[in-house]
Each structure stands twice: as C-alpha cells, then as structure tokens.
Amino acid sequence: MLNIDLSGKRALVAGVADDAGYGFAIAKALAEAGASVVVGTWPPALNIFRNLLERGKMEESLVLSSGAKLAFESIHPLDAEYTTLASAPESVRENKRYAGVGDFSIDGLATKLVEDHGNTPLDIVVHSLANGPEVKKALLDTSREGYLTALSVSAYSLIAMVSRFGPLMRAGGSVLSLTYMASERVIPGYGGGMSSAKAALESDTRVLAYEAGRRFGVRVNTISAGPLASRAASAIGIIEKMVGYVAANSPLTEPLTATEVGHVAAFLASPLASGITGSVVYVDKGYHAMGMASPD
C-alpha cells in the first residue's frame, strides 16, 4: 500500500487562527500523516485561538482518524507583513493587540524555532496567509496603500518566508502556499488588489522554485483552491455567492471541503511528490477548466 508518511518531519503552518479554514485543514492532514505541527498565528487572533483550544471549543475538530487528538507542538505569534521586528512601525509594536506577544516577525519566529529545535528544525512550510484591507473595493477604487498592503501581506510574505526559513529546512523540504482563480480570471467583488496579489504569488512560486531549489534544495508549490466559506473569507463579503456559483458550474458539483485541500497539501509535502515543484495545483472540483456557465 502506498501511504503518505511524514513521520519524523516538522511542519510550520503559518496562518491558523481557528478550525474553519484551509490552514487548519492542512495542519490536521499533515498531523494525520505523522508530522509534528507548529503554528504561526496573527497576533490579534492569538489569544482567541489559544482560548478556543484551552476551553475545548475545538475538541471535535481536533480528533484524528486514529481517535487521537491533534496537539500542536507549539503556537507562535506571526505577522508576516514584517520580516523583522524593527520593520514594524511603532504604532503596531505598541498596539494593545500586539502587547506581550514578543517578536512577531518572520525573523523572530525563525530565531525561536532554532532556539527550540536546532539549526534545521523544519521540513515543511505552509503559507496560508492573505489580507487585503480594501478587498470589497473595485480595483479602480483601491488606494495605493491598500493595493500595496495586499501585495505585501499576501505575496511578498512568501518570498520573505522562503528566504528566512529555507536555510532552516532539511533536505527534501517542501514549501506550499494557497492561491485562487482570481489570479487569472475576473472575479467581480474580489477586489482591493487581491487578484493582483494572487497573480504575483503564482509568478513568485515559479521563480522561488528555481532559486530555492538551487540554493536550499527545497520544493515550492501553490494550491489554487476553490472558495471556502471560512471565517476569514467572510471579509470578502460575497463568499457565499462565490461558493454557490462554483458548486453550480463545476464538473463536480459537490461543495469543496477544506479536508480535500488538506489531503493534497499533505501529498505535495511528502516524498511522493518529490518531482513536483514550481506548480500551481488546482483543487477546485474542476472549476478552473470551465469556459462558460453550466446551462443547468
């Protein structure tokens, strides 16, 4: 039997704050395959996430197929908009939502992982991060600041993470991000520069696959996932409409589940996918193949 076996490997999943999104589903799938999982969580959501875990609000979601319970090896503050703590403006560093969390930058997390687990603590890095403060605005109405923030948080953060975490990864490592069809097709209502950010993310995936492959010996891929009505996606404002439209017009009409994306992520992180890098892998029930709406 051909199994996905990630025993003895450690994964960093950046962008988990509850049990409703793709980040959590990927973390759970990696754990199902035997990996230990550390999590990076946006500081304003960190205490909420920890409280959900401590108060048992996620008990059902944490149960693995074996009956055991997913236990994160550690949970760290991470705001991937900032490569170093010094690059975060004083207004952010002194914000009460960031108070007491320590160094929440990419560099800070890398330093902590080395302190806790040695010089090469990682085998898998998952970038499940995106933010467009003006996502509800049409592109024509998006400010320069809103556009650049979307690009910085949703795309450049992958470059910063590969640059900083790449040297910390063991041979055969895998980096994975999440993209969306808006990178190549118009999705009215998905604005604020987020479509541009996803296009940049996919282009960067190809370049990083070459550069990080040659420099660090790691693979870099991205999953183009269909829409999911997660808590984070509710910020878009039309997520339910997006989910319904895709389900009605895809070759496979069952709604996409986060678990399905998690399983593909586990495969891409495993030795079974050792020949795959620089790829955009569609996990959207085939919606990307459609050129017209279904007559049904």
In a domain, residue 293? The reply is no
What is the model's pLDDT at position 245? Answer: 86
In a domain, residue 294? The reply is no
Angle at 48 between CA 43 and CA 49, to 5 degrees: 85
- CATH number, domain of 107, equals 3.40.50.720
What is the spatial distance between Cα 265 and Cα 163, in angstroms, rounded to a whole number? 21
What is the model's pLDDT at position 131? Answer: 93
Beta partners for residue 141, in sequence order:
none
Per-residue confidence band for 38, with pLDDT thresholds at 50, 70 and 90 = very high
In a domain, residue 173? The reply is yes
In a domain, residue 291? The reply is no
- For the record, the structure tokens of 130 come out as 């995106």
Mean pLDDT, residues 201-216: 98
What is the model's pLDDT at position 234? Answer: 67
In a domain, residue 4? The reply is no
- Rg of the chain over CA atoms, in angstroms? 18
Q: What is the DSSP string of 123-136?
A: EEEEE-----TTTT
pLDDT in tens, 68-95: 999 999 999 999 999 999 999 999 999 9
**253: amino acid identity, one letter:** T
**Which domain, by its residues, includes 239?**
10-285
Domain count of the fold of the chain: 1
Instruction: Decide if 7 contacts 38 (C-beta within 8 A).
Output: no
In a domain, residue 31? The reply is yes
What is the spatial distance between Cα 66 and Cα 109, in angstroms, rounded to a whole number? 31
pLDDT in tens, 155-201: 999 999 999 999 999 999 999 999 999 999 999 989 999 999 999 99
Burial of 276 per CB tally in 10 Å (0-12, 13-18, 19+): middle
In a domain, residue 234? The reply is yes
In a domain, residue 133? The reply is yes
Q: Is the pTM of this model over 0.85?
A: yes
What amino acid positions are annotated as catalytic residues?
180, 190
Q: Is the pLDDT of residue 214 over 70?
A: yes
pLDDT in tens, 220-277: 999 999 887 666 666 776 778 888 888 888 999 888 999 999 999 999 999 999 999 9
What is the spatial distance between Cα 270 and Cα 60, in angstroms, rounded to a whole number? 26
Q: Is the pLDDT of residue 62 over 80?
A: yes
